[in-house]
Structure 1
Amino acid sequence: MSLHRRPLRVLAASAVLALAACSPGGSVARVGPPPTPPAAVAGLCAALHKELPESVAGLARTSTEPESDLTAAWGGSAIVLRCGIPKPPEMADPKQDGVHVNGVAWLLEERDKASGGGYRFTTGLRLAYTEVQVDKEHATDAGMLVGLSEAIAATVPEGIASY
């Protein structure tokens, strides 16, 4: 994975937060079964869960089903975070794109249209892998990873996850 510092070219640097008005109130994100990381990683994810922002890209935080310290969502299922996932095989591909946001390295992947499009961002060089899936409508806000990166940097130490 190439993790050189550069602007988020995948995300259109649109500062238009008008999309925030699309946040469905009171919705629940169905995230499937939460990851099953080792206990030490689950502890890091629980600490992260407490520090996650109440809004991301102007979308309010919503409940997840099932409820877990390993998952979080904003705007229903517009933005879904899962902490403690296994290492993605794409991390080993040096041709994959990556960026750094507030000291956190992210692997960038465009999701195929069959899975609804949008993007998947996965942290690297941290003791817990954290995945953020963003629908195509909300992937245009370049500031989306800023608050998430701040919370991750504060709670998940740098290193190579070994699970």
Structure 2
Amino acid sequence: MSPQSHPTGLFRLGRLPALAGVAAAVAVLAACSGPVDLTAPTPQAKARTICRDLVSHTPDVVDSQKRREIAHPSPYTAAWGDPAITLSCGVPKPPALNAASECFEVNGVGWFSEKQAAGYRFTTIGRKVYAQVMVPKKYVPSDPLVDLSKAISDQLPVVQPCV
């Protein structure tokens, strides 16, 4: 079947400029979403260098989402996509995390998971510093933790492995 005779008409040569215009408009709107409003943590002195190193080693793309600008830039935060997947390093221990909490591993990184209204909050377990990743519902069941695990493994020293 030739492009001009496709039954939906989407592939007719006359429709390509219109589709390109729509795609360009969508790209412009996506780019106009603005910086991510993310409150930076205030890590303790011993965690600051570790967190700066972690954030500086995070990938530019997480779960196929590009890095985003943050409204109040901090060396302890990073964001990707819209809605934003966010990473905050040097956060306090989650109140619900205790010795009986379930731990799961992604590429050697232990995580504590908490369901939130807007998605999930994952906090590293067994590291010298707590780092949190917020994952909006839009990205479930994908796993941005896979893309972040190398930087976390390399930059956040293990104190106790996830068991």
Q: What range describes the TM-score normalised by the shorter chain of this pair?
A: 0.7 to 0.9
Which residue of structure 2 aligns with residue 69 of structure 1? 75
Provide Cα deviations, 1:23-68, integer angstroms capped at 9, x if missing partner.
Answer: 9336311002x11112220100100011101011110001112100
Which residue of structure 1 aligns with residue 49 of structure 2? 43
Per chain length, whose mean CA-contact separation is higher, i.e. which structure has more relative contact order (CA < 8 Å, sep 6+)?
1
Residue 93 of structure 1, CA deviation? 5.7
Provide Cα deviations, 1:102-137, integer angstroms capped at 9, x if missing partner.
Answer: 11100011103xxxx210100010011000111101
Provide Cα deviations, 1:83-113, integer angstroms capped at 9, x if missing partner.
Answer: 000111211162x43311111100011103x
Gaps of 5+ in 1: 1-20
Matched, 1:120 2:111: no
State the structure with more CA Rg. 2
Q: What's the RMSD between the two structures over aligned residues?
A: 2.1
Match of 1:103 among 83, 102, 108: 108
**Cα 1:149/1:66, change in 2 over 3 Å:** same
Which residue of structure 1 aligns with residue 14 of structure 2? none
Conserved in 1, the CA contact under 8 Å of 2:35 and 2:71?
A: yes
Residue 82 of structure 1: SS of its match in structure 2?
A: strand
Gaps of 5+ in 2: 1-25
Which residue of structure 2 aligns with residue 16 of structure 1? none
Q: Give the whole-Å Cα distance in 2 for the aligned partners of 1:67 and 1:97.
A: 33
Give 1:4-153 correspondences, 5 Å limit: 24-25=30-31, 27-32=34-39, 34-92=40-98, 94=100, 96-112=101-117, 117-142=118-143, 144-153=144-153
**Cα 1:77/1:83, change in 2 over 3 Å:** farther
Q: TM-score scaled to structure 2, two decimals? A: 0.74
Residue 158 of structure 1: SS of its match in structure 2?
A: coil
Give the structure with the larger helix fraction: 2
Residue 24 of structure 1: SS of its match in structure 2?
A: helix
Q: TM-score scaled to structure 1, two decimals? A: 0.74
Which residue of structure 2 aligns with residue 159 of structure 1? 159
Residue 36 of structure 1: SS of its match in structure 2?
A: coil
Residue 72 of structure 1, CA deviation? 0.5
Residue 159 of structure 1, CA deviation? 1.6
What is the aligned-residue identity percentage? 36
